[in-house]
């Protein structure tokens, strides 16, 4: 990435944060060379499962859409460039076009978060997909809370739209998790 593209990428990332805030991923897997102990010392939520370490998202290092442990972030974070950044680097899109896609997607994320809250699940610091699954796995009592039926329907629709956009415009299959 040349300096001009890197500067544009930095502006885009600090207006986005979706690969760190639990929107796109639930965990970041540690790689050889990463130090789980150091990340714990830095305040990250690090867990181990089947002998592998991972860092949970939303990431505790993300503050006002900036990584506060940028120089010590894990290798997956260093290597990850979402599809918007890859297209920008390839010259396939402009910074303004990427910014518009990010703003629109963040608007949709906001809508999904609001619908989850309307559905009765308060913000609890867990990743978006996890919160969505938790709410949707609780059946609606149609007699006692009929107003929840359209809320759930709208949430399901908007979450589906969001998944399509994240897969099409942001996630990079080999880099997930
Ligand atoms: S999803 Fe892309 S644009 Fe957004 S913060 Fe991550 S790398 Fe940057
Ligand atoms: S360590 Fe930094 S780059 Fe990695 S997920 Fe957390 S905020 Fe994002």
Give the chain's mean pLDDT. Answer: 95
* Cis-peptide, bond into residue 58, ω within 30° of zero: yes
Confidence of residue 173 (pLDDT cuts 50, 70, 90): confident
Residue range 8-66, pLDDT digits in tens: 999 999 999 999 999 999 999 999 999 999 999 999 999 999 889 999 999 999 999 99
Question: H helices of 21-147, where?
Answer: 36-41, 75-79, 83-90, 95-118, 128-136
- Rounded to the nearest angstrom, the distance between the alpha carbon of 43 and the centre of ligand 1 is 22
Please tell me the distance from the alpha carbon of residue 23 to that of residue 160, in angstroms, as a whole number: 13
The parent domain of residue 129 ranges over: 3-175
Ligand 1 near 101 CB (within 6 A): no
Lowest mean pLDDT of 112-116, 145-149, 173-177, name the range: 173-177
Contacts of residue 44, defined as CB under 8 A and 6 or more positions apart, other chains included, come to: 55, 56, 59, 60, 61, 69
Which ligand 2 atom is nearest residue 61's CA? 7
Note the pLDDT of residue 124. Answer: 86
- Rounded to the nearest angstrom, the distance between the alpha carbon of 65 and the centre of ligand 2 is 10
**Helix, strand, coil tally for the chain in percent (to 5):** 50, 10, 40
Instruction: Write the DSSP symbol of residue 170.
Output: T
Lowest mean pLDDT of 105-109, 140-144, 157-161, 163-167, name the range: 140-144
Confidence of residue 177 (pLDDT cuts 50, 70, 90): low
Q: Which ligand is nearest to the CA of 88?
A: 1
Ligand 1 near 170 CB (within 6 A): yes
Contacts of residue 105, defined as CB under 8 A and 6 or more positions apart, other chains included, come to: 18, 162, 165, 166, 169, 170
Specify the residue with its C-alpha closest to ligand 1, atom 8. Answer: 13
pTM: 0.92
- Rounded to the nearest angstrom, the distance between the alpha carbon of 42 and the centre of ligand 1 is 22
- SS3 state at 172: coil
Angle separating helix axes 148-169 and 95-118, nearest 10 degrees: 150
Which ligand 2 atom is nearest residue 59's CA? 6
Say what percent of the chain tops pLDDT 90.
Answer: 92
Q: Which ligand is nearest to the CA of 69?
A: 2
Q: Which ligand is nearest to the CA of 95?
A: 1
Note the pLDDT of residue 174. Answer: 66
113, pLDDT greater than 90: yes
Note the pLDDT of residue 176. Answer: 47
- Rounded to the nearest angstrom, the distance between the alpha carbon of 151 and the centre of ligand 1 is 29
Count the domains in the chain: 1
Note the pLDDT of residue 152. Answer: 97
Confidence of residue 123 (pLDDT cuts 50, 70, 90): confident
């Amino acid at each position: 990435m040349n300096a001009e593209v890197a500067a544009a990428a930095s502006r885009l990332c600090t207006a986005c944060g979706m690969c760190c805030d639990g929107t796109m991923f639930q965990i970041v897997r540690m790689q050889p060379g990463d130090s789980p102990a150091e990340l714990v010392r830095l305040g990250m939520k690090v867990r181990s499962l089947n002998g592998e370490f991972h860092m949970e998202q939303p990431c505790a290092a993300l503050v006002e859409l900036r990584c506060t442990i940028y120089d010590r972030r894990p290798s997956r974070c260093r290597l990850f460039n979402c599809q918007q950044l890859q297209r920008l680097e390839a010259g396939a899109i402009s910074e303004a076009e990427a910014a518009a896609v990010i703003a629109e997607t963040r608007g949709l994320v906001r809508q999904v978060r609001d619908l989850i809250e309307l559905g009765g699940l308060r913000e609890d610091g867990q990743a978006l997909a996890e919160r969505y699954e938790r709410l949707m796995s609780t059946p609606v009592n149609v007699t006692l809370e009929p107003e929840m039926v359209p809320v759930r329907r709208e949430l399901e629709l908007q979450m589906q739209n969001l998944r399509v956009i994240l897969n099409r415009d942001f996630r990079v299959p080999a880099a997930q998790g």
